[in-house]
Structure 1
Amino acid sequence: MCAMNRSPHSLTAANRALSVSALNRQVKSLLENSFLSIQVIGEISNFARPSSGHWYFTLKDSKAQVRCAMFRGRNTATGFVPREGDEVVVTARVSLYEGRGDYQLICERMEKSGLGQLQQAFEALKAKLDKEGLFEQSRKRPLPAHPKHLGVVTSPTGAAIHDILTVLKRRFPGLPVTLYPTAVQGQEAAGQIVRAIELANRHASADVLIVGRGGGSLEDLWPFNEEAVARAILDSAIPVVSAVGHEVDVSISDLVADQRAATPSAAAEMLSPDRNALNLRLQQLRRRLLSRMSWQLDKKRQQLNSARQRLRHPGDKVREHMQAVDRLELRLARATNRHIQLQRSRLEQLQRRLQRVTPINRINQHRERLTQIEQLMPRLMQAHLERSRLRLAQQSGKLQSVSPLATLERGYSILLDSKGQAVSDSTRVNPGDKLEARLHQGRLQCTVDSIDE
């Protein structure tokens, strides 16, 4: 066994050397103290989100890259999850991951590139238009309950028009739709949207407009935050529904429009009648109508039966009048007999008085007077009977004039069906039915050949 000899110089150098961990700690401290907070712009790559909720990614440009970490307590306030290729601006501290010796950025905030300037422009325009009263609820117009024609201002190739047509096909496929095509993002989009709204107003065929597109970043949605688009919506004579982005997105167009929909699909749902609900309502109304008609028919049928029971046969009325004539004749006979009895009683009284006063002349005179009275009495009685017969004939004539039998004497007839009911309506008989015609004298058996209504 041999011993290794070390020189004093090598021992001194070893004592002065830093360990790797000590070096990394010093570099980490130096970096963190030198770069307290900086903003870095770059493109996201190698994005990873483990179950811990922390974000790890690389921020790069065309010439370099740097590793980044954004812990869960910070990234929950970002409001979006970055994707590969997104250009973002991070506010971060420069640090060192001691375990690998890699320097990295510890991100405190993240926003998409240009978002800060756009957000400021959005807030400024929003405040300006709000001050002018463009967002006032009182100036917004009601939407038609059942639109007859729908206008859509959007991209002809985007998802928005596809979603709208899909909803309409499901809910109310008969609703006419006119597409006014326009770009929905980019520098030319705002002008095209304005011209499309103006064109829809010149056509004046639609009674409501959907202006919108699918979701996207603030930059993608920016044409709907342009003042020109807001004022075109304001000036539209046709009510406008703004359907820009997803539910979390709110644009200037949403605030100015008469109604805001969270998505194009929601706008189509809002404006289209529900075919199934309408069919259900029609069925309910049909059932109510049939029930009401059935009730009315039953009521009229009861009224008809009641009237039929109250209606008396003409023969009954004739018999009543005949009985009345018989009663009058009997009264006349009784009155005549009473009158004769009275005259006889007076005659007897006169005879008794005559016997009491016996002058022969007066007796003769009275006898002659009596003879005259006896001769006159039959004539008076005959005259009275004639007057009574005349009145009786007049009453009988009046009775005969209202009697159905008099109608039969003039050549008319009464048609009776097989049940003996009078036929007054041609719809109650059919060709081939057997009828009986009652005449003034006799009856005829008839067969129906044809019916003229």
Structure 2
Amino acid sequence: MTIPTADPYISQSTPERQVLSVSQLNQQVRRLLEISLGQIWVEGEISNLAIPSSGHWYFTLKDANAQVRCAMFRNKNQLLGFIPEEGTQVLMRAKVSLYEGRGDYQLIAEYLEESGDGALRRAFEQLKQKLSQQGFFEEAHKRPIPELPKHIGVVTSPTGAAIHDILSVLKRRFPAIPITVFPTAVQGKEAAPQIVAAITAAERYGQCDVLVVGRGGGSLEDLWPFNEEVVAHAIYNCSIPVVSAIGHEVDFTIADFVADLRAPTPSAAAEMLSSVSQQEWLSVITNYQNLLKEKLQNALAFHQHQLTSLKKRLRHPGHRLQELSQRFDDLEIRLKQAMDKKLVIAKNQLKLQHNAIQQQSPAKQLLQYQQFVQLLTNRLHHSTQQALKNNQLKMQHAAKQLQMVSPLATLSRGYSITLTEDKSQAIRSYSEVKPGDQLTTLLTDGEISCRVEKTTKRRALKTK
């Protein structure tokens, strides 16, 4: 349709204008968009998703600065393996078009896939469900972790933060445990087969009784090698108990579910494997050592007592000397026990005073208690010296008494002892010898051999 112009500024010679209807305009624009742009790939976030009874999808694809209307018809969306949700980040293949009824510019989606973490999380859930159905996560398959490992293997990067954290914790808590690192990449496409190879190498090594598999924190993509199925199979089939220590406490991987024990971090794994520190073990050993020492001392004292009792039964000329010697030993033991007892009492008092000082902590009280402890020490020293001196006096007195009853002391005063020729017995009466017998007389500095010429009975001494 053509109409004459009424615009006074337009020359009358200007050709007549071509006027389009709105429908014609939208149709031409749609064709122009579809022909000039063709199929394109667009990435964005889904919002305002609507799924009517027809089965078509209508949604908005947006980023931080703009948005565009989209449609995906039923014959296309049925070919996808998922239904997107609000907020899903997707990568879409589409053609640019125009909805003629409203004049709205829109994209007609041909193909849709999750992008970034969304795709990875979907793959994670699918593998998790698959392995769960196959029994990879069953508790019955979990092997116990040794309470005190004899040798720890670590499958991780030799230059990462994880191995540094593990070694630092074990050095602090139990440096005696040997550690072998089986190096592997923990990020990238080559990481998964290297992790499998490192686990296999640890099994062949044959020395480790527990294996830590892990790395430090990172994004889901960084941690993805530990979500690979080959790694899950390697951990599941490993003959060594496996502790997973991957990322941070909030990070979960397939390896965490398959492993025999999951640690929230590499440092936590080292803490779990050294649940009893070296100092605690040394304390237990020291207690047993003290108990054994006490038992041995008791046994020794018991046998010494038995030996002393047996010695008392022996009868010989030096019996009296042995009794005095035993008495000396008994006094020595009692002296030692008294010293030990007082020393223990003094130590206990010292410990109580020390604890009181630590609890109260004023400098003045500390000085007073130190003076009191010194006083107790001096008193203990004085008591010990006095007890030792008293016992030395008793020993000297006993030695003098022994010397008084000694036969040698009698000889030194001018007396002599006459024995038979063979010195087997002493002559106590003249009737025990006869003329001609050979006798031996003992003096304080020697002996005399003599022969009996005559024996005479001595008359009884008369007393006034």
Give me the TM-score of the superposition, normalised by structure 1. 0.46
Structure possessing the higher radius of gyration over alpha carbons? 1
Structure 1 or 2: more helix by fraction: 1
Give me the TM-score of the superposition, normalised by structure 2. 0.45
